[in-house]
Amino acid sequence: MSNTIKSVGVIGAGQMGSGITHVCALSGLNVLVQDVSEDLIRSGIATINGNLARQIAAGKITEAECKAAQARVKPALSMEEIGGVDLVVEAATENEDIKKAIYAKLCPVLNPKAILATNTSSLSITRLASTTDRPEQFIGIHFMNPVPLMQLVELVRGIATDDLTFETSRDFVNALGKRTAVSEDFPGFMVNRILMPMINEAIYTLYEGVGGVSAIDTAMHLGANHPMGPLQLADFIGLDTCLSVMQVLHDGMADPKYRPCPLLVKYVEAGWLGKKTGRGFYDYQGDEPVPTR
């Protein structure tokens, strides 16, 4: 028998955090949004409002549903303000030290019965849980990007995660209208363990001169029926995130097949991180994306 989640705290108001807040609020949950500054929180809420407006325009939700969802979202200017929720979803950047620092501030003020979830796409749930005061109530709830559109959520139990936490988290995801896939706690889980090496191999294909950016993306879009090519997808995900996941896979598996492509490293070092910086494997500064190689 699971517990019912009625209130959620989301830590991180970026692309993932705002998406998680969006779907929770539309599903009738009260959501408190926390980040390192009020400006970031307000920016995240503005993104949610813009995305809700697009859903109205597309006929996916009504204006009444939009207003009700907006009313359920509130800023939390301190960790203490989210201490009373039933579930906290940490959606901070994919950096283990940053996540651990958040838990150190959160756990002392978080209600003892609350579940603490991380949206990490590759880091060890067991290791993150071990730094908290509630490893039994810690779980990976990995939403896919963009959260309002993608149907899948990976549920990942750490070695200590108890049955009640798992069942409550599964019911929470189902209540959002999402589908769950349960993964064991290994580097990259399932989606990124399969997806990121494919993207990395596409970058090697570019690096070795087998094909250009457009040719590689066209080949996989039309030849494998993928909705977009792997280099375009990498730009959408963020090349820094792709590199981070590949490093986790390489470190965790100690297998050379997961070695990040040097060209991926070079792009990240240049600050060409994809769509969010205006340049990656494509340049997004004009009317149409133009390949950078």
Q: What is the pLDDT of residues 206-218, one digit of tens each?
A: 999 999 999 999 9
The predicted-structure confidence for 122-142, as pLDDT tens digits, reads as follows 999 999 999 999 999 999 999
Domain that holds residue 259: 192-291
- Let me know whether 51 and 77 are in one domain: yes
- Let me know whether 174 and 254 are in one domain: no
Q: What is the CATH number of the domain that holds 159?
A: 3.40.50.720
2 lies in some domain: no
216 lies in some domain: yes
Q: Which of 161, 183, 205 corresponds to the end of one domain? A: 183
* Rounded Cα–Cα distance for residues 82 and 186 (Å): 30
- Let me know whether 197 and 171 are in one domain: no
- Let me know whether 285 and 256 are in one domain: yes
**Overall residue count recorded for the chain in this entry:** 293
- Let me know whether 46 and 162 are in one domain: yes
Structure tokens, 100: 């651990």
* Rounded Cα–Cα distance for residues 181 and 194 (Å): 14
Q: Which of 149, 164, 183 corresponds to the end of one domain? A: 183
Structure tokens, 74: 């509130």
CB 181 within 8 A of CB 199: no
The mean per-residue pLDDT over the stretch 15-27 comes to 97
- Let me know whether 69 and 174 are in one domain: yes
Is residue 162 over pLDDT 90? yes
* Rounded Cα–Cα distance for residues 68 and 16 (Å): 21
- Let me know whether 149 and 172 are in one domain: yes
- Let me know whether 216 and 258 are in one domain: yes
- Let me know whether 18 and 145 are in one domain: yes
1 lies in some domain: no
**What does the CA dihedral 236, 29, 94, 81 come to, rounded to 10 degrees?**
140
264 lies in some domain: yes
What is the overall mean pLDDT for the chain?
Answer: 97
The predicted-structure confidence for 43-101, as pLDDT tens digits, reads as follows 999 999 999 999 999 999 999 999 999 999 999 999 999 999 999 999 999 999 999 99
Angle at 37 between CA 32 and CA 38, to 5 degrees: 60
At position 45, the amino acid (one-letter code) is I
Q: Which of 183, 217, 242 corresponds to the end of one domain? A: 183
The predicted-structure confidence for 179-196, as pLDDT tens digits, reads as follows 999 999 999 999 999 999
CB 105 within 8 A of CB 114: no
Structure tokens, 210: 């087998």
Q: Please give the tally of structural domains in the chain.
A: 2
What pLDDT, on a 0 to 100 scale, did the predictor assign at position 250? Answer: 97
Is residue 1 over pLDDT 80? no
18 lies in some domain: yes
Residue 157 burial (C-beta neighbours within 10 Å; 0-12, 13-18, 19+) = buried
Helix (H, G, I), strand (E, B) or coil at 245: helix
- Concatenated DSSP letters of 18-53: HHHHHHHHHTT-EEEEE-SSHHHHHHHHHHHHHHHH
Catalytic residues: 121, 142, 154, 192
- Let me know whether 131 and 198 are in one domain: no
| Minimum mean pLDDT range among 1-5, 233-237, 264-268, 280-284 | 1-5
Relative to beta strand 282-283, strand 290-291 is antiparallel
- Let me know whether 120 and 236 are in one domain: no
Of 232, 252, 256, the closest CA to residue 244 belongs to: 252
DSSP 261: P
CB 119 within 8 A of CB 125: no
- Let me know whether 161 and 208 are in one domain: no
The mean per-residue pLDDT over the stretch 33-47 comes to 97
**How many CB atoms sit inside 10 A of residue 163's CB?**
11
* Residue carrying the six token digits 């009738």: 28
At position 131, the amino acid (one-letter code) is T
Confidence band, pLDDT 50/70/90 cuts, at residue 2 = confident
- Torsions phi, psi for 109 (to 5 deg): -110, 0
pTM to 2 decimal places: 0.93
What pLDDT, on a 0 to 100 scale, did the predictor assign at position 258? Answer: 97
The mean per-residue pLDDT over the stretch 16-38 comes to 97
Q: What is the CATH number of the domain that holds 197?
A: 1.10.1040.10
